Structure formats: structure tokens, C-alpha cells
Amino acid sequence: MAHARTTQPVLTAQKAGLLGCRICGRANPGAAQSCSRCGAALHRPGGLQAVMAWLLAGLVVYIPANTYPMLRTKMLGEETDSTILGGAIDLAHHGSWGVAGIVFVASILIPIAKFITIGYLALAVHRRWPMRGRLRFHLYEAVEFIGRWSMIDVFVVAILVALVQFNLAATIAPGIAAVSFALSVIFTMLAAQAFDPRLIWQSADTDTE
Amino acid sequence: MTEKQNEAARQDDTGALSDLIVCPSCDALYKVAEVPTGGRARCGRCGHSLMAPRENAMARIVMLAATSLVLMTAALFFPFIEITAGGITRRTSVLDAALTFSQSLSLPLALAVAAFIIVLPVLRLLAIVYALAPMSLGWYAPRHARTALRLAEEAKPWAMAEIFILGVAVALVKIAGLAHVGLGAAFWALALLVLVNILNDNFMCRLTLWRTLEQRSRS
């Protein structure tokens, strides 16, 4: 029955000639530029260009984030660089499986899953692939919710650098990857925000009509 | 005229559109219904929570936000981690961690980290208190309350204090082999802050809040 409900045609604000505010839920006249309740700029559910642009930007900076060192550790004159993946593997070698898992999931699994999911959503909307149930919407919700957690590795670097700075035995400096990884997370968050979830439902509506 | 009649008259002024509610995530259009306090109305299509009136919601949100502000102050200035190696103890506060990047190549990163873990969370809380505190006392909404609340809403995904906490935990494990590490007062303040924020987010039904704000604004 749950599926039957989702395929029923639903009266949307757009069909009623109105424009819904995505911040406060106010119905505005179709020609309005900003919401009369909260003042937010109103957007018609529109293109995917911004989504793709941010996604590509995120993908581009994700490459140096993985190939360049995230952390440069200098210990007793010996300098070692570690990349994101290397850091997770090191942790696993030391037996901290749980933390290695967190780092691996937050900095490798989540970003890659995010690229794939946003790409899939944009493509599905663009090509009007038929929709089964609420799967796409749940994917979108998951990406919106989980995306920010990738930032954890950047914070770890900041904390480590702050802690070890004045200790003479070891120094830790951030590598280029720290910057590019932070940028990658920011860009993909912007891509997820630029994606209008109403488009997911719009393609479902046209299916049933 | 009684308070209720007043309110009804004001709604008539703004037209029938304010009796409608649009689901922010799927654009479904609904007529606003009376939802009992403690209940919750969800969108029939996508399940987004549309209305969830709570008793004293306004006062509780303001209280929780004020609590967060106090905890945030503690979290900022007390050390959150201390490390002992070779007889030297070093304490680090959140401010130190945010500013550490500024000494190296990545000044923009320093600014971003400071914004994510300090500036945005604090500004959000201030904006919420400013916009809602007068209304929780039964007064009208202050000037620019709508802008303040909207900015707080838009800044939400970028306020990352809770992610920073998990970062501290990971950093602790990474460094455990090098030195003796302990947690400072600020860590517990931050952990508490995360709990309070989760409570607050559950309490704050966005659309209900906006409707209340609109009804209490002087137009």
C-alpha cells in the first residue's frame, strides 16, 4: 500500500500555480521572487547545472586530496608523509580498528558514495528514469545528512598540528591534501544543497500522468 | 476584540495563502489542519515533518540555545585535550586548533575551520536567541527576527561542532602512541553541547516555528 500511495498523483504547489518556500513552507504566488514569510529567495525547481558544476569541482579536488600527503610528521629528524588512506592503514596496523574504520568510512567511503549518489540522482532526474518507491528520496536525504561528517579528517589534522607543534621530539604539519580534501567536502555539500529534491518527485509525477 | 479574533483577522488580511503549507522537500500542497499539541503532521508523500506543535516550544528552544551558548564559551577557552611527552605538558584549546593552520601555507583552511567550529555555531545560537527570546516571553517578534532565523536555518549544515568532537576522539587515538594524552574540561563541555543541540533540533519544528513567527510579527 505504501507504494500505491506514492504513485497517486499529488497536488503540488507548482501545479496549483504557487511557489513553495523551501525554508518555511509558505505558499507564495507563482510570480513571487522572495518568500513573504521568511524572506528567502524563491527558486523554481530548475536545472541541474549548479549540481553538476559543484560535483565536478569536488571530484577534481578529491584527486590531490588522495595522492598528496595529508600529514607530514617529523620525528627525530626523520620525515614521513601520510596520505588519507595511509593514515587509516597505519591506524589499523596499530590495532585501532574502530578508529581506522571511522577514518576510512568518513574520508574514503562517504565521499565516493556521495559522488556516485549525487551523480546518479542528477542523471536519473535528467533522463527521467522511472522511479520505484521512495528510494531516490531516501538517497538524497542520506547524502544531505551524512555529507558534512567527511570533514572529520580535516579537524583531526588541525587538532594534531595544534597539539604537537611545540613538542621538540615530533612536529606535524598539514599537507596539501588537507586543503584539497576540505574543499572537496565543501564542494560536494554545495552540490547536494544545489540539488532540488522537488525534481525527484517531479519526474515521478510525470511518470504517472 | 479578543486575542483569538485578532489573530483570525490578521490571517484574513494576508489571504488564503497562509492557510496552505507546502512540503519543503517534495512540493506537495496541503491545507493547514489543527494538530494537537504533542502530535506531528507528516507529508503523506515523502514523510517530511510538516507541523509538530509542542508545549512551550518557544521557551524551550530559547533555553536550550542559551545553554548551548554557555557551553560553547566553556568549550572555546578551556583546554579540550592535554598531552604529556618527555615531561612537557601541552594543553590545546579549540581556538588553538582553529588557528594552527594560519602558521602554514593554508590560511584559508584556518579560516574555514574557525568558521565551522566556532563562528557559525555561535552566530546560529545568537540568532535563535535574538529571534525567539522576546516571543517566548509573550512579546512581539523583534525587528529582523525573520532574517535572523532564516540565516540560522541556512547556516545549519555548516556548523560542525559535533563533528569536531569525533575528530578529537580520532586524534586522541592517533597520538596515544607518542605521548600520554588526557581530555580537558572543554571536551566534556563540547560533548554536552552536542547532546543539547540534538535535543534542540528534535524540538524545533521548522515550519511550526515559522508560522508562529509570522503570526506574532507586527506587520
Q: What's the whole-number mean pLDDT along residues B96-117?
A: 73
Q: Is A189 in the B-facing interface, judged by CB distances under 8 Å? A: yes
Pairing status of strand B20-22 against strand B29-31? antiparallel
Q: Is A102 in the B-facing interface, judged by CB distances under 8 Å? A: yes
Q: Which amino acid is at B113?
A: V
DSSP SS3 for A151: helix
Radius of gyration of chain B (CA): 22
d(CA A16, CA A28): 11
ipTM for the complex shown: 0.77
**Local confidence pLDDT in tens for the 209 residues of chain A:** 344 444 556 787 877 778 888 888 888 887 788 888 888 888 777 778 888 999 999 999 999 988 988 888 777 777 778 888 888 888 888 777 888 888 888 888 999 999 999 999 888 888 877 776 678 888 888 888 888 888 888 888 888 877 776 555 667 778 888 889 999 999 999 998 888 888 887 766 655 54
B120 touches B153 (CB < 8 A) = no
pLDDT at position B99 over 80? no
Q: Is B33 in the A-facing interface, judged by CB distances under 8 Å? A: no
Pick among 1.20.140, 1.25.40, 1.10.10, 1.10.3470: CATH of A45-208:
1.20.140
Report which of residues A28 and B15 the model is more confident about: A28
Residue spans of the domains in chain A: they are 11-44, 45-208
Q: Is A56 in the B-facing interface, judged by CB distances under 8 Å? A: no
**Please, which residues 185-204 of chain B have a Cβ atom closer than 8 Å to chain A?**
none
> What is the structure's pLDDT at B7?
47
Contacts of A139 (CB under 8 A, 6+ apart): A117, A120, A121
Q: Which amino acid is at B216?
A: R
pLDDT at position B97 over 90? no
> What is the structure's pLDDT at A10?
74
Q: Is A39 in the B-facing interface, judged by CB distances under 8 Å? A: yes
Q: Which of B22, B167, B210 sits opposite A38 (nearest CB)?
A: B210
Q: Is B70 in the A-facing interface, judged by CB distances under 8 Å? A: no
Distance between A148 CA and the closest CA of chain B, angstroms: 7
Which pLDDT tens digit goes with each residue over B114-139? Answer: 888 888 988 998 998 898 888 888 77
Q: Pick from B179, B76, B187, B190: which is nearest to A164 by CA?
A: B179
The interaxial angle of helices B107-114 and A152-164, nearest 10 deg, is 110
pTM assigned to the model: 0.82
Contacts of B215 (CB under 8 A, 6+ apart): B7, B10, B11
d(CA B197, CA B187): 15
DSSP annotation of B105: S
> What is the structure's pLDDT at A3?
45
Cβ–Cβ gap A158/B97 under 8 Å = yes
**How many C-beta neighbours within 10 Å does residue B144 have?**
14
Contacts of A24 (CB under 8 A, 6+ apart): A35, A37, A38, A40, B24, B150, B206, B207, B210, B211
> What is the structure's pLDDT at B94?
78
> What is the structure's pLDDT at B9?
42
pLDDT above 90 covers a percentage of chain B that reads 1
Q: Pick from B85, B99, B111: which is nearest to B182 by CA?
A: B85
d(CA B36, CA B53): 7
Best of A18, A26, A82 to disrupt the B interface (most B CBs within 10 Å) is A26
Q: Pick from B152, B171, B142, B190: which is nearest to B61 by CA?
A: B152
State the average pLDDT for chain B.
78
Contacts of A47 (CB under 8 A, 6+ apart): none
Contacts of B143 (CB under 8 A, 6+ apart): none
Compute the Cα dihedral for A122, A123, A124, A128 and give only its sign.
Answer: positive
Element (H, E) at B215: helix B206-216
